[in-house]
């Protein structure tokens, strides 16, 4: 196990013990440590640590690398494929948690909950400080990426009486229509159409810095958006300028280009942004589910079975 954010490794050890496998956690989050201590591992568990070609080339026995999470951007999948090492993830956990967190950030920003909380604690009791606060019913909410999480967000947003617009080139018109989502054909069109939106897309070459000076210029001055997907989807320098100049109403980010952010962190000084520390995935239950599902993929691979979520099938 290259790295961990968890308080112990009991869940992983419990699953691996079923096949007599032992878990070793790396003593350091460096490539050299991964190579020295993990070169002869049969499987590798990864949370946030980067596992690049240099490491993968040195894995003598490894059959599977499992990302304890959804994205696999921190693993060199091409290098693993070349070496016939399976790469897996856990895409089917925390769906409701991320959807809930997205809506929580959205409501806090639109209703100025976080902002007013700060003002009251600072001795100011003045509802007019919140202005403007739009009514939600009848507004247009955009979902960029209508996978499992995006669809859950759409359902929650519909409950507030908003009309849902979706951008997803991989879903059919019929599927979107059945979900009560109006298809928007292009990124440009959705940014100029909706009042609010949230991002639920993977990080690819096409989506990197999707939110930038150009796309921000298409948005309404009343636009508020949420990112609970991947930090690099947003160009933070361009967003900072748009927020300072009040070209959009605000934003909420649970993910950043660099985590944790390096000081000085300019966005943190603005009133029209909400920041949380990559927390959307988390609940007591989702953490247990994530860890158990990741370990089970290793059990499958080491007992001669195909993993459930095999990213680089060969």
Query: Which residues have a catalytic role annotated?
Result: 230, 259, 278
Q: Specify the pairing of strand 140-144 against strand 250-253.
A: unpaired
CB 133 within 8 A of CB 112: yes
Say how far apart CA 98 and CA 254 lie, in whole Å. 10
Looking at the chain, list the stretches that DSSP marks H as alpha helix, in order from N- to C-terminal side: 10-17, 31-38, 53-57, 77-82, 95-110, 113-121, 148-158, 173-178, 187-193, 213-216, 236-244, 284-302
231-236 long-range CB contacts below 8 Å, 24 or more apart? 231/255, 231/256, 231/257, 231/258, 231/259, 232/203, 232/208, 232/257, 233/199, 233/201, 233/203, 233/207, 233/208, 233/209, 234/199, 234/209, 234/210, 235/209, 235/211, 236/267
Cβ burial 166-188 (10 Å sphere, 16+ → b, else e) = bbbeebeeeebeebebbbbeeee
Tell me how crowded residue 112 is: count the other CB atoms within 10 A of its CB.
Answer: 21
Tell me the pairing of strands 140-144 and 224-227: unpaired
Q: For 118, phi and psi rounded to 5 degrees?
A: -65, -40
Alpha-carbon distance of 43 to 38, in angstroms, equals 9
């Amino acid at each position: 196990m290259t790295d961990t954010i968890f308080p112990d490794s009991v869940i992983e050890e419990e699953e691996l013990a079923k096949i007599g496998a032992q878990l070793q956690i790396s003593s350091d989050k460096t490539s050299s440590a991964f190579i020295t201590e993990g070169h002869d591992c049969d499987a590798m568990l990864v949370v946030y640590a980067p596992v690049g070609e240099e490491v993968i080339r040195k894995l003598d026995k490894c059959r599977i690398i499992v990302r304890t999470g959804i994205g696999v951007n921190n693993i060199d999948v091409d290098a693993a494929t070349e070496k016939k090492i399976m790469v897996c993830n856990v895409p089917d956990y925390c769906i409701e948690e991320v959807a809930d967190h997205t809506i929580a950030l959205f409501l806090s920003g639109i209703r100025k909950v976080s902002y007013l909380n700060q003002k009251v604690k600072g001795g100011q009791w003045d509802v007019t400080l919140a202005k403007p606060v739009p009514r939600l019913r009848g507004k247009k909410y955009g979902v960029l990426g209508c996978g499992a999480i995006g669809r859950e967000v759409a359902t929650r947003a519909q409950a507030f009486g908003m009309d849902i617009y979706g951008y997803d080139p991989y879903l059919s018109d019929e599927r979107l229509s059945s979900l009560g989502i109006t298809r928007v054909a292009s990124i440009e069109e959705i940014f100029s159409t909706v009042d609010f939106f949230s991002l639920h897309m993977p990080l690819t070459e096409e989506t990197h810095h999707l939110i930038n000076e150009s796309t921000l210029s298409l948005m309404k001055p009343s636009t508020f958006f949420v990112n609970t997907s991947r930090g690099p989807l947003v160009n933070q320098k361009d967003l900072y300028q748009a927020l300072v100049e009040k070209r959009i109403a605000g934003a909420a980010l649970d993910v950043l280009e660099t985590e944790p952010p390096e000081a000085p962190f300019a966005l943190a000084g603005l009133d029209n942004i909400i920041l949380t520390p990559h927390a959307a995935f988390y609940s007591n239950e989702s953490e247990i589910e994530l860890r158990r599902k990741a370990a089970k993929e290793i059990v499958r691979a080491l007992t001669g079975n195909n993993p459930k979520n095999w990213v680089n099938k060969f």
